[in-house]
Amino acid sequence: MSKFSRAIVRAVPRTLEGGITTAQLGKPDYDLACEQHARYVAALRELGLQVEVLEADDRFPDSVFVEDPAVVTERCALITRPGAATRRGEATAVAAALEPLYGKLERIEEPGTLEGGDVLQIGERFFVGVSARTNRAGAEQLARILANYDYHAELVPLRHFLHLKTGVSHVGGGKLLLAGELADCPQFAACDRWLVPHEETYCANAIQVNGTVMLPLGYPRTRRHIEETGRPVVELAMSEFQKVDGGLSCLSLRIP
């Protein structure tokens, strides 16, 4: 499994409450969101990552969700073309941060749309959600780009989840957390799976950083299960990002 050495995050914009959302959880509180974000950054640093914090950009309410405008791998990085048109301008600052690390960046081109939240890497394999945000053209472009770098990618059609990683996470060693419509997805049937209980669906979006699993705070059954497998867990309060449909993975680009 890749070790991560760096992460890119982006500071919370003052306009966060204008972010796209389907959650009916009220408006996010800017100050509390900043606190939760600072704790997230500190947790990444405690796990050994060098974290670059990009400046906030109030023109883009969703720009804290830095995972969506790019996809990063060991061998290449690419700039996406978000299905949410209001998010397309977010890529400029992210590209500027990635260029010094990768040199040439690949790009998803029109008519393709793709958001990084739809891209799950497990070793040499990638799974790409075809969602309301990522269309088939975008997913197929990504698969072709990845094939040039000797990766294999396959498409996973979604019906309800915002993004693929809303409902599936790889927590290391081939183990997946799966929720909702992905629980019986044939592409994951042969994996070591934890089926996230319905009331804990939000924590199916977790991340693994160098052996530690970061989970949103308040999902005890999943937490207990992961700890029983011997993986250390760090819990993080995510309430303000959840109000605008964001999860743990969306808040960073983790770079191997």
Contact 127, 120 (CB under 8 A): yes
* Stretch binding ligand CIR (CB under 6 A), from 64-72, 73-81, 92-100, 225-233: 64-72
Q: Min. distance of Cβ 238 from ligand CIR in angstroms?
A: 11
* Stretch binding ligand CIR (CB under 6 A), from 5-13, 50-58, 213-221, 244-252: 244-252
Peptide bond into 100 cis (omega under 30): no
The distance of Cα 142 from the centroid of its chain, to the nearest Å, equals 16
Task: Work out whether 67 is an interface residue with ligand CIR (CB under 6 A).
Answer: yes
Q: Min. distance of Cβ 133 from ligand CIR in angstroms?
A: 7
Contact 92, 66 (CB under 8 A): no
- Going 153 to 70 to 42 to 24, the CA torsion angle's sign is negative
Complex with ligand CIR: residue 19 or 112, whichever CB lies closer: 19
Q: Which of residues 16-35 bind ligand CIR (CB under 6 A)?
A: 19-21
Q: How far apart are CA 192 and CA 82, in angstroms?
A: 31
Q: Min. distance of Cβ 190 from ligand CIR in angstroms?
A: 25
Among 13, 40, 66, 68, binds ligand CIR (CB under 6 A): 68
Q: Which of residues 116-155 bind ligand CIR (CB under 6 A)?
A: 117
End-to-end Cα separation, the chain, in angstroms: 10
Q: How far apart are CA 151 and CA 135, in angstroms?
A: 20
Residues that bind ligand CIR (CB under 6 A): 19-21, 62, 65, 67-68, 84, 87, 117, 162-163, 166, 244-247, 249-250
